[in-house]
Amino acid sequence: MKRPRLFRRMFTSAPTREARNEQKKSGAAFLNAVAITLFVAGLFGPAINPALAGSLSVFERGLLVFGGILAHILVRAVLWSLEDK
């Protein structure tokens, strides 16, 4: 059974270097947004939403911040893999 065209396009590599670089940059931008969200939620979450103050412990907030830092490091690794001209 053949996969629909949409799924074939989603799971195949782009034919040109520029297209592969754009795909990597798009994925890095999404992952960077996740990193920022985790970092801000860990540092300022209870200040922004006081209802979180009772549900997030200091350890859980630290995990959120650490997850944001780790996600940002992954973004840097993706961007380092961009292909040169």
Interval 15-52: pLDDT, tens: 888 888 888 899 999 999 999 999 998 988 888 888 87
**pTM, two decimal places:** 0.76
Measured in degrees and rounded to the nearest 5, phi and psi for residue 55 equal -95, -20
Residue 56's contacts (CB-CB under 8 Å, 6 or more residues apart) are: 45, 46, 64
- Token pair of 43, please? 């540092």
- pLDDT one-digit tens code per residue, 44-82: 888 888 887 788 888 999 999 999 999 999 999 989 988
- Strand spans (E) along 1-81: none
